[in-house]
Amino acid sequence: MNLTGFQDRLAIVTGAAGGIGQAIVAALHAAGARVVATDMPEALEQAGVADAENLVWRPLDVRDGASDALVAEAEARFGPLMLGVHAAGIVSTLPLLDSPAEEWDRVMGINAGGVFNVATAFGRAMRRHGKGGAIVVVGSNAAGIPRMNMGVYAASKAAATMLTRCLGLELAQHGIRCNIVAPGSTLTPMQTGMWQDGNGAARVIAGDGPSFRTGIPLGKLASPEDIAASVMYLLSEQAGHVTMADIYVDGGATLRA
């Protein structure tokens, strides 16, 4: 199936310097979209990104109120916003009883508050221009299954998921679709940063009974491109009747769709 609906359309991506974010940016740019890619300044510097034709990189902290201004700048350059992807997020691996209030505020501020700030800015712009549009939030399969020592992270992703679905309900009357892609373990720096040795991938694939974590039935980690492909489908015209969906892309790890 040839996905359509990208040529010369403005797409904004947050968390764009991360592994999944960069794969999404590359896929959108290759499909002909005009892409404004954003991330924290230090992440942009570390990734060594550079502008290209129809691709510009801009700093954005999703916790502050700059999302509307960023959207306005992007629209002034590339036309009305039609495609929005929110991929910014952080992980937390502390047990709940050992998590200080500051950790809760930090993770919720980025993973849930960031979705509120960014996705609503996308929605306001799309409602204003009246041409419809599609918003995809990159969540996590942890939003739908309890995880040992990841309670703060799981709660933040569950909040982000329901926020996105409620936004989709509000925006449906304007022809704006809002969906979630929920990755499982994906080969990114966020994932490998949690490994203690070179056997991390094997342990994740096999699962861990004492921590009540199933393995991955497909027997492999996702690649960033696997996640980007699902995002691209949900943004495309071929998904024109799909909204408020929560698609798990985890190789079957959570034993649910």
- Closest by CA to 183, choosing from 167, 200, 160, 202, is 160
Task: Based on the residue annotation, tell me whether 153 is a catalytic residue of this protein.
Answer: yes
The strand pairing partners of 247, in sequence order, are: 181
Question: Which member of 6, 57, 122, 153 is catalytic?
Answer: 153
Contacts by 66-71 with C-beta closer than 8 Å and gap 24+? Answer: 67/117, 67/118, 67/120, 67/121, 67/122, 68/121, 68/124, 68/125, 70/12, 70/36, 70/38, 70/121, 71/12, 71/121, 71/122, 71/124, 71/125
Residues annotated as catalytic are: 153
